[in-house]
Chains A and B, each alone.
Chain A
């Protein structure tokens, strides 16, 4: 029906996408094939040299490991906590609206602000966390949360989990709410226990939603920048430096646009691989991404 008019309508979107997404993604590949320093005036085609450098770059592998660790723990914790929150809210009780808004709150707080809020809480001398732990006798002396290699990553994960559990919870809640009530009634009649209902009705019906939560959250966590850049700047001793943070430093602190773009391409490639993996799983299961 009048499809010519339809094509006309998507032209502005296509043009915008071409300029702000397609062109940059092609250009970043091209940049990655150059040795290019902005200030030094160096601009030379070097083929795959940057990629060779990347494979032999211990800092890159360290950043990749950090990114993977961050992603794995953040996403797992968010899924588990999100599920708990969703199950908790998915019952009729008074103040439900208020609780739901409270759950949304961390999601709405800008990442930068949430990192600052937590930096204040994690502060070694003045932070409320150390004070509380000391008082409860859980630690003997103030811990340097953000400044020691052992704890900084855990702190970063805590911030991310705090900020994004609500998103997971809301998607899972929406998934819970479309499970037909009759199924639970039928299971009750059949004598199923609460655990059995959860195991045999809730989980199977929630699987597609869980997959989507995992997909969105994994992609988001893998490209993490804001929280870590603010909280630790990648330190101490690069122990929290993720790929995005590393790429940013190379790009805009050393102004090495060639190699910085190469790291950026590696993030892009990893993200695309992850999404292709998830989507093929979703498709195999007859998932929802039509």
Chain B
């Protein structure tokens, strides 16, 4: 079972380290010598550094933006008993169910009209359609575990509402915010449909689009593609191994009675 789950990734790793000569040889052989030529050519023959930077900026900005407004909403519904809390959460939940294909055509027209195609903004805002509901959902399940008394205590101790949020509640919500940030980052890093639609130039692509549209002059460059795949996946693998507990708690937040 473990083999089924990680085997394909390992096979891709092996492929990426093979010289072209034995890449397509059957039976498949393990390379006698590990070569990094594919990794090098990904950066020298393609604008891969730029593309990684694009992905990084878009994913990070989406994360920061959605978490900032998500954490405020989560405070609003967990700490302040606002009326319409159920309505708001219902709205958020149903938006998380929107199929991206249903919003892609109006967003495309909007982005074209605003003239922001091929910019980071053209991805950051659309990414909020899935990242914001995710943030609000995960964060409010974490923040609702903070006792409301702490907010009250901060208020009678002389804090303004904002001070109470910033000095008392935010530090306590930080672990949940961090967990949520990892999830949102991964989702934004992996997004494909919007990135494919809202970028037109090679320079503005994100990694998934670049890999999907990997051009080969005569044949599919399997080695380079494998190298690129490993490069994209590596940061995620590190995140998963370092923060697996947090990721699991974030993914299961709100869906299992604990």
Chain A: residues with CB nearer than 8 A to chain B? 1-3, 5-10, 12-13, 16-17, 19-21, 23-25, 27-28, 31, 84-85, 88, 97, 99-114, 116-118, 120-121, 125-126, 128, 131, 135, 162, 165-167, 170-171, 173-175, 178, 208-209, 212, 216, 219, 222-223, 225-226, 229-230, 243-244, 247-248, 251-252, 257, 260-261, 264-265, 267-268, 271-272, 275, 288-290
CB-based contact B103/A20 at 8 Å = yes
Partner of B9, one of A84, A105, A265: A105
* Distance of B72 from chain A, by nearest CB (Å): 4
Q: Is B83 among interface residues, defined by CB-CB distance under 8 A?
A: yes
Q: By the criterion of a CB under 8 Å from any partner CB, how many residues of chain B are at the interface?
A: 89
Q: Is B212 among interface residues, defined by CB-CB distance under 8 A?
A: yes
Which A residues touch B236, using CB under 8 A? Answer: 108-110
Partner of A28, one of B4, B11, B102: B102
CB-based contact A126/B222 at 8 Å = yes
Q: Is B58 among interface residues, defined by CB-CB distance under 8 A?
A: no
Q: How far does the alpha carbon of A14 sit from the alpha carbon of B170 in the complex, in Å?
A: 21
Chain B: residues with CB nearer than 8 A to chain A? 1-2, 4-6, 8-9, 11-12, 15, 24, 26-28, 68-70, 72-73, 75-77, 79-83, 86, 88, 91-95, 97-110, 125-126, 128-129, 132, 136, 148, 151-152, 161, 186, 189-190, 192-193, 197, 207-209, 211-212, 222, 225-226, 229, 232-233, 236-237, 239-241, 244, 247-248, 251-252, 255-258
User: Closest residue of chain A to B231, judged by CB?
Assistant: A113
Which B residues touch A24, using CB under 8 A? Answer: 102-103, 105-107, 110, 129
Partner of B239, one of A25, A108, A244: A108
Which B residues touch A135, using CB under 8 A? Answer: 27
| Interface of A, helix, strand, loop or mixed by DSSP | helix
